[in-house]
Amino acid sequence: MFSQNRTKMKLIKVNEKNKDKFKECVGKDKPMIVLFYADWCPHCQVLKPTWNKIAEKLGKNKKVQVAQIEYSNMEYVPKKYKNIRGYPTIQMIKGGKIISEYDGMRTEQDIEAYIKKYE
């Protein structure tokens, strides 16, 4: 489904140092899929290897940017993106707006199919 390009996509991991980069990226027309997670959450821990595989598969030249935001770094996220009801939460953001929240199975294939809709 995705390119077999083995160049790793740089995940944006939001923290104090790069909070402006996140704001800049979510404001663009390029879609960004964002994983909101908490290190203490067992469901997040199970999803993390799958999420990393998906990011690796996307490669540098894909049309969807990938980000992940740990709960402790939510203070660096603009207020309009903080409406998180539970962890993990996956959202698609484009043009500064949340366009979709993923509610499917947390398998590599299902998440890839979801991303494919926005390429």
**CATH code where residue 67 lies:** 3.40.30.10
pTM, two decimal places: 0.83
Domain boundaries, position 18 = 12-116
Residue range 16-47, pLDDT digits in tens? 777 787 777 787 888 989 999 998 999 999 99
Is 45 within a domain? yes
Would you state the structure tokens that stand for residue 68, as one six-digit string? 């992940």
Is 47 within a domain? yes
Is 2 within a domain? no
Query: Are the beta carbons of 90 and 34 closer than 8 angstroms?
Result: yes
DSSP labels for 47-91? HHHHHHHHHHHH-TT-SSEEEEEEGGGGGGS-GGG----SSSEEE
Is 7 within a domain? no
Is 73 within a domain? yes
What amino acid occupies position 48?
K
Is 6 within a domain? no
Domain count, the chain: 1
Is 4 within a domain? no
Is 112 within a domain? yes
Its sign, for the CA torsion 61, 48, 98, 78, is negative
Residue range 41-99, pLDDT digits in tens? 999 999 999 998 988 887 665 788 888 888 877 787 878 877 888 999 999 999 889 99
